[in-house]
Chains A and B, each alone.
Chain A
Amino acid sequence: MNDAVSSQAALNADDERPSIVLLELIHRMKVRDVMTREVCVTDRDSPLRAAQQIMRKQGIGGVPVAEHGRLYGMVSMPDIIRAWEDGYIDDPCRTHMSTRLVVLEEDMPLAFAIRYFGRYSFGRFPVLNREQMLVGILSQRDINRALLRELAGEVKRLESHSGASLPPPAGGIFDMYMLREFPVAKLDFENAGKAANQIRLMLLEKQVEPRVVRRVAVAAYELEMNLCVHSNGGVLSCLVSNGRAEIIARDNGPGIPDIEWACLDGTSTANAWIRSLGFGAGMGLPNVKRVADDFLIESKPGGGTRARVIVQLGVQSDGKPSAPETSARSDT
């Protein structure tokens, strides 16, 4: 089993539900965070022998053929072996390099790259930027090293908070405690909605009244779709404590220039494709406000967005839920 496959297997360990922390990591991290930036390259006119020397010196199994940042091909170890066997090791790379390349883009989530390693048999992928220039190379070793480093940080963080996050004893709605986080990837319509539905099922299992559960689920779903459609991916979290559900959607996306406008019925920046999926009618945020007892949204152009919804799950001992309150803040 190669490293990429084992990474994928780890995502499906135990009861086939991937670790939330791991999922969040591989969706949050980008290829550019993990790739090796110092790429040893050769050019089209250099002999294959030169490529072989680079491989030996660097301890790598493939060399990109690039000139002035433009990628033209790859020379891999099997290419070199064939060159020795057939006697053309001094031919220029351009005549025998692989030109049907599979590349990654530096903005892609790491999750995407991991799937590529599972799908193709390559040990490494060249990484291009938006201008299609070679900016790095990504190997399975890079991924494993980065994941271990990030997971170690996550474990430390969880350990430092473990005392504060212990749930109180089970009881009624006001004794209930639950904290879940769900990564949401950009334009991942295959999975969009799963987080909201998991939140819904958890609340139903806890015997929360179905009409209240629907309000929470609708808010979570609208915010989840917003993350999917408008951000570069983010995290949806659900905290249930003190008899209320708090849904938070946060992202590091482009931000909302005018929140007041975005909260108006019928205003939307969604494109035709999003609309063809039944969304983008500009009713998302107004609908979130409608179902929320408390709604807060903060955003800054280029600085991401954070939306928070609170829904009271029951009536307190004084017979009153908290007063609805809606606010928005935008730094423009």
Chain B
Amino acid sequence: MTTGVIAQRTGWEVLVKGGSFDRPIRKVVASDLMSDVLVVDEDDMLLLTSLASDQVLRTAQVVGAVGVVVVNGKPLPSSMVSVASTLGVSLLKTRLSKYEACVALSQMFKEAPKP
């Protein structure tokens, strides 16, 4: 399952296609606390958050995340798109709550063919 496939199936808005858009996701982390995200020791994570700030993207890059999904349909500061483009981090947006987005992703991962 890649960020690209998720975007295609869910219709979540893709604001930036990063370099890892088509890389398989190995873990999904949902958190508004970047300190929590930094503790996760896992490659190729997809980060779900309701925090709309540039620091989310910098954190995502530090941990090598494949992308960031901002939930709750939050309006994003214009700087986020340019920072995501500069860093090469995929940036998506959905109107779903964090919980609903997690449920949707869980369902998709369950239904995805096992590698």
The size class of the interface chain A forms with chain B is: 20 to 34
For residue A225, give the distance in angstroms from its CB to the closest CB of chain B.
Answer: 8
- Residue interface bits A238-267, CB-to-B below 8 A is 1, else 0: 000000000000000000000000000000
Q: Which of B21-29, B56-64, B100-108 contacts A (4 or more CB under 8 A)?
A: B56-64
> B51 within 8 Å of A by Cβ?
yes
> A189 within 8 Å of B by Cβ?
yes
Q: Is the CB of A197 within 8 A of B33?
A: no
Q: Which of B9-17, B35-43, B90-98 contacts A (4 or more CB under 8 A)?
A: B35-43
Number of contacts between A and B (CB, 8 Å)? Answer: 71
- Among B38, B43, B54, point to the contact of A211 (Cβ < 8 A): B43
User: Which of A189, A193, A211 gathers the greatest number of chain B CB atoms within 10 Å?
Assistant: A193
> A200 within 8 Å of B by Cβ?
yes
Q: Which residue of B lies closest to A270 (CB)?
A: B35
- Residue interface bits A217-229, CB-to-B below 8 A is 1, else 0: 1100110000000
Q: Is the CB of B54 within 8 A of A200?
A: no
Q: Is the CB of A277 within 8 A of B62?
A: no
List 7 A-B pairs, minimum CB-CB distance, nearest first: A193-B58, A278-B34, A281-B35, A283-B35, A217-B62, A221-B62, A278-B51
A-B contacts, 15 of them at CB < 8 A, read: A193-B58, A197-B58, A197-B87, A210-B43, A213-B64, A214-B63, A217-B63, A218-B63, A221-B58, A222-B38, A277-B51, A277-B53, A278-B34, A278-B56, A283-B38
Apart from A197-B62, A279-B55, list 7 A-B contacts with CB within 8 A. A193-B61, A194-B58, A277-B55, A278-B32, A278-B49, A281-B36, A283-B36
Residues of chain A at the chain B interface (Cβ within 8 Å): 189-190, 192-194, 196-197, 200, 210-211, 213-214, 217-218, 221-222, 277-284, 287, 290
